[in-house]
Amino acid sequence: MRTSNPQTQFFTVLITFPLVALLLGIFVTEANAQAGAGQLIISEFRLRGPTGANDEFIEIFNTLASAHTVNGSGTGTGYGVAASDGLLRCNIPDGTVIPSHAHFLCINSVGYSLSLYPAGIPTTATGDASYAVDIPDNAGIALFNTNNPLEFTLANRLDAVGSTSEANTLYKEGTGYPALTPFSIDYSFYRDNCGKQGSITTFGLCPSGGLLVDTDNNASNFIFVDTNGTPAGAGQRLGAPGPENLSSPIERNAVLPVTLIFPCVAATASPNRVRDFTSDPPNNSTFGTLSIRRRITNNTAGNITRLRFRVVDVSTFPAPSGIADLRLRTGVDISITPGGNPCATGAILIRLTTLEESVPLLQQPNGGGFNSSLSATLVTLGTPVAPGGSIDVSFLLGLQQTGLFKIYVNLEALP
């Protein structure tokens, strides 16, 4: 991992991480038995949001290298997500197929405000299942391989997450995450997919290699973020919720290699990386911007029709002195003329990435941070990236403070 100071070199290499056991985008096997602990896990949630106490969601992730078909145990007719009051909130019916490394999204239909956050094409992050009874702030939640409340036992539990104030240990792992001071803010807890527990100041490669961390300890496995960097009691860092459902793109790092667009010059040299000192405070770029350009190649066996990038590690607000404060922004297309191409390979068109938001409620007025996502908007059903093909993209980062910095992303794609 190389870091640098934006006052001198202005950039660090953008690195992605391979995931294990991705099958080139084609899931050829399927698991039909009941899921065991750690196979389906809670990957992101919140118990309150901008619209109030009912602005909730719970996201489930399939860790298996194969698709999983829901098959409830005992007298259950599916899997259940319950709160620590013992009441079933979300039912995942028998026969539901959750692809490898894909998500299932439960929402509170009374107040959920993120239904316009992008998912697949042309879908958005609507719920795959819903409930209408509030889960209290800081209460525990658990996923069981049955939807029968009489069978909500430790033997049937797949995963759980709760706060330190949750007394029922069935609904949390370890001592729990730090209890929040309830604010109706745009926050979420998401499962660490880097291994640094959301540290802004820890540099180097992600210890988890980009994989979700599951050590049965809620306090270290989940990271608190919100769009204002609010100190709510569970750590302070700028970021955004990113709910994902069955239609959402799936991590594809292993088969979407990232390389330099201009291999004849260094990663820190223009036009692979460009530093602009123009101050732009309204767009979270008081000390100018960094533009990082990279080539993404499709090494799967099929067309890529949706491509986005999720931030797993970044130096951002509230960065201490000496550490850069980066803010992700929507960029612009960049045209490199033949005369401006140092490798003499002709004209190059570098496509923008768009900071993904959910109008009108999920907005990121402070720019993107942890768990924020950017979309390669050129990639669509009509304009896919064919097998063996590539797309050149740019990442635009505003600087609110100069210093050493880092940014790591996971690649998510369809199909």
- Which residues does residue 351 pair with via DSSP β-bridges, in sequence order? 393
Q: Assess if residue 5 is contained within a domain.
A: no
Query: Left, alpha or beta for 235 (phi > 0: left; psi -120 to 50: alpha)?
Result: left
> Helical H runs in 231-340?
none
Q: Is the peptide bond before 149 cis (omega within 30 degrees of 0)?
A: no
Predicted pLDDT of residue 35: 78
- The CA angle 171-174-177, to the nearest 5 degrees, is 80
Query: The pTM is what?
Result: 0.90
Q: Are 119 and 247 in contact (CB under 8 A)?
A: yes
Identify residue 68 by its one-letter amino acid code.
H
Predicted pLDDT of residue 358: 77
Predicted pLDDT of residue 168: 98
Q: pLDDT for 315-363, tens place per residue?
A: 999 999 999 999 999 999 999 999 999 999 999 999 999 999 976 666 8
Q: Assess if residue 282 is contained within a domain.
A: yes
Q: Assess if residue 17 is contained within a domain.
A: no
Predicted pLDDT of residue 26: 28
Predicted pLDDT of residue 360: 64
From 29-43, 93-107, 211-225, the region with the lowest mean pLDDT: 29-43
Q: Are 107 and 89 in contact (CB under 8 A)?
A: no
Q: How is residue 218 annotated by DSSP?
A: H
What is the signed CA dihedral for 390, 299, 25, 334, rounded to 10 degrees?
Answer: -20
Q: Assess if residue 280 is contained within a domain.
A: yes
DSSP 37-77: BTTEEEEEEES-BTTBTT--EEEEEE-SSSEEE----TT-S
Q: Whole-angstrom Cα distance, residue 110 to residue 108? A: 5
Structure tokens, 252: 């594809």
Q: Alpha-carbon torsion 80, 51, 369, 175, what sign? A: negative
Position 33 pLDDT exceeds 50: yes
Q: Assess if residue 408 is contained within a domain.
A: yes
What is the rounded average pLDDT of the residues 398-413?
A: 97
Q: Closest Cα to residue 89, out of 116, 118, 60?
A: 60
In 141-194, beta strands by DSSP E: 141-144, 157-161, 187-191
Q: pLDDT for 208-252, tens place per residue?
A: 999 999 999 999 999 999 999 999 999 999 999 999 999 999 999
Q: Assess if residue 236 is contained within a domain.
A: no
What is the rounded average pLDDT of the residues 280-305?
A: 97
What is the rounded average pLDDT of the residues 274-282?
A: 97
What is the signed CA dihedral for 396, 402, 403, 407, rounded to 10 degrees?
Answer: -20
Q: Assess if residue 274 is contained within a domain.
A: yes
Q: Are 184 and 48 in contact (CB under 8 A)?
A: yes
| Total of domains in the chain | 1
- Domain range enclosing 295: 253-414
Q: How is residue 103 annotated by DSSP?
A: E
The confidence band for 32, taking pLDDT boundaries of 50, 70 and 90, is low
- Which residues does residue 79 pair with via DSSP β-bridges, in sequence order? 92
What is the rounded average pLDDT of the residues 104-110?
A: 98
Q: pLDDT for 133-166, tens place per residue?
A: 999 999 999 999 999 999 999 999 999 999 999 9
Q: Assess if residue 64 is contained within a domain.
A: no
- The CA angle 45-46-48, to the nearest 5 degrees, is 165
Q: Closest Cα to residue 406, out of 309, 310, 311?
A: 311
- Averaged confidence pLDDT in the chain: 91
